[in-house]
Amino acid sequence: MNANSTRNVTVEGDGSQVVGHVGLHALGGSADRMGVGDALSQALGWQGPGVPVHDLILDAPAVVRAGEAVARIRSQVWTRSASTTGTGPVVLDLDASLVEIHSENKEGAAAHFKGGFGFHPVFCFADATGKALAATLRPGNATANDAADLLGVLDAGMVQLPADVMAGHCVADDLGKVRRRVVVRSDSAGCSAGFVDGCRSRNIGFQVVARRKATVSAAVTAANIDDDRWVRALDQDGIPAAPKPGGDKVAMVVMSPIWST
């Protein structure tokens, strides 16, 4: 592939003609300035001008090299952004999404719970930037609450983060190695013992949606008398929300190996 994804052009806004996808030039130019093309060319093997990526042999080692190259670029970018530096926790979001297809011949495609047909990939996003860090392609009938799949995409996303963020967040790492707190958020798909135990073993905090049942209600009741487990919720402007009548607490911090036992 080429080291540069764009050509030197001048974009003018006062003409009468319409050029499709001209906005992609800004995206490609940004990638070139960050060195994405050079990094991927070195990782995958440069084959001469005009050779697209899909004409290369992307075996498993090449995919790993490409991921490592993108991770190096992302680490450089994160050092330049106020939203990704500092000492605050790094928040990751995990979610699955249904992808419809129209051919039963696609490898791995299957019927899903909403009556359609296709894939059910799971993603890991960085909240600070909104960027997708990792994704795992799964058949349509894969469950959303598969702990192994969620932890797998979480690990793949962690590898894409800078070294100082990733430190101490591998399985069975000592808590003393943690240099930056990491919190993962999930909907009710993440509310399983397998997933939250996996987060604890990685020294990663978790915030998950729990369906109301006796055991959950009992845990909330017990936490209600422990002020150390609660923080004031923020409104859309980032201002602490007003307490509810009667002094009820506004938001609960789900138990984390970093903040509590």
For the chain, what percent of residues have pLDDT higher than 70?
84
Please determine, for residue 212, whether its predicted confidence score (pLDDT) is greater than 90.
Answer: no
Query: Which of 65-74, 82-91, 101-110, 242-251 shows the lowest mean pLDDT across its residues?
Result: 242-251
Tell me the average pLDDT of the chain.
82
Domains identified in the chain and CATH numbers: 1-80 (no CATH), 86-252 (3.30.420)
Question: In this structure, what is the dihedral angle of CA atoms 182, 188, 192, 197, given to the nearest 10 degrees?
Answer: 10
Average pLDDT of the residues in 121-129: 94
Question: What SS3 class is residue 78?
Answer: helix
| pLDDT exceeds cutoff 90 at 252 | no
Mean pLDDT over 164-188 rounds to 93
pLDDT bin (cut points 50, 70, 90) of residue 47 is low
Between 124-128, 134-138, 217-221, the lowest mean confidence (pLDDT) is in 217-221
For helices 24-34 and 60-78, what crossing angle results, to 10°?
Answer: 90
**Residue 28 carries which side chain, given as an amino acid letter?**
G
Q: Indicate the range of 41-55, 81-95, 118-132, 137-151 predicted with least confidence.
A: 41-55
Does position 243 have pLDDT exceeding 90, yes or no? no
Higher pLDDT, residue 254 or 26: 26
Give 249: exposed, middle or buried? Use CB within 10 Å, 0-12, 13-18, 19+.
middle
Sheet of 110-111: strand order equals 99-100, 117-119, 110-111
Q: Which residues have a Cβ under 8 Å from the Cβ of 181 and sit 6 or more positions away?
A: 88, 89, 90, 205, 258
According to the model, what pLDDT value does residue 245 have? 58
**How much is the average pLDDT of 223-251?**
68
Q: Around 3, how many Cα atoms within 13 Å sit in the side-chain half-sphere?
A: 6
Higher pLDDT among residues 3 and 141, named by residue: 141
Rounded to 5 degrees, φ, ψ at 155 are -65, -40
Retrieve residue 200's tokens: 């604890």
Return the pLDDT at 144.
93
Give whichever of 56-70, 126-140, 213-227 has the largest mean pLDDT.
Answer: 126-140
User: In the numeric block, which tokens belong to residue 34?
Assistant: 């960050």
| pTM of this structure | 0.74
Find how far residue 89's CA is from the centre of its chain.
14
